Amino acid sequence: MKKRTLLGVFAHPDDESFGPGGTLARYAAEGIELHICTLTDGAAGTADADCWDCLKDDTDLADRRLHELQCAVKVLGGTLHYMGYRDSGMEGNESNLHPDAFINQPLDAVAARLTRLIRELRPDVILTHDETGGYFHPDHIHTHKATLMAFQAAGDPTRYPDPLAEGVGPFSPPRFYCTVMSRSRIRTYVWLARLTGQDPTRYGRNKDVDLTRLGKPSNQIHFHVNVQPYLEVKRQASACHRSQGGGGGLGGRTRLSLGERLSRWLRQRAGNWDMFQQLYPPPTGRRLRNDLFEGIPQE
């Protein structure tokens, strides 16, 4: 009997842990074969102020982030597939202009690599970023487009036929999901930011996230996956990403502001559930579900 398989496709090192890490940990613990594909090197980011030794044993940030990713995937219980494209940075960043930046790579070429991976792994479930990238990161959006293109091509023997000659046959995964955030929950963060004197249009460590643009309406959220029993595993995986603040430090400060304390409290309360939108097959009805593998027959 074929073991059930989940493939998560993400843009950067840390997306797997900071995002649906609880869900990934849950299914690995339940015996699902977990594969995590990371497309970029994450090197356009800046090292967190608490990570004093971030480049001590690595030649550059990309090497550091790959080592952190390997640590996190091991903690989650998965197998890593690393493609190593150059991080493009946030929208408007000068990194966007580099010819090797991920967003400047043809979607067709990226999709061809992902199609081969899908045919090799034959996953029951694929999950990736949604069409907005969660917070409109260009690499997240490019990842969504390429993964969706590969999902649609994998079962078609006329698309990207080269692997077929090597014995890798076509395969159509039963499910395709996107990680999403609740618009109503985001509105709470917007209210909280304004209440505490912060600008919700310039949010986050680098002030480059506009909270007012984020979130999906409730009718586009089809799964609330309960991950409460796996939050400690998610925390440990996130802690691997020290260069991105995964260690839970304060960026060289000794105290959190009121707004930061309230935001952390809200995130902790909301963290028991990961949310997903089902793209394929199109969902029917409005019932919220808790299992991404529901209805998929066991081979």
Q: Does 234 fall in a domain?
A: yes
- Judged on CB neighbours under 10 Å (0-12, 13-18, 19+), 67 is middle
Q: Does 286 fall in a domain?
A: no
Q: Does 14 fall in a domain?
A: yes
Q: Does 294 fall in a domain?
A: no
Q: How many CB atoms lie within 10 A of CB 158?
A: 8
Torsion 55-61-67-71 (CA) sign: positive
List the one residue out of 268, 282, 295, 273 whose CA is nearest residue 219: 282
pLDDT at 267: 56
For the entire predicted model, the pTM comes to 0.90
Q: Does 192 fall in a domain?
A: yes
Q: Does 182 fall in a domain?
A: yes
pLDDT at 250: 39
Q: Does 230 fall in a domain?
A: yes
Segments forming the whole domain that contains residue 14: 5-280
User: What is the count of structural domains for the chain?
Assistant: 1
Cα separation, 82 vs 101, whole angstroms: 16
3-state secondary structure of 224: strand
Q: Does 293 fall in a domain?
A: no
3-state secondary structure of 199: coil
User: CATH no. for residue 29?
Assistant: 3.40.50.10320
Cα separation, 283 vs 285, whole angstroms: 7
Render pLDDT for 23-59 as a digit per residue (tens, 0 to 9): 999 999 999 999 999 999 998 876 666 665 665 554 5
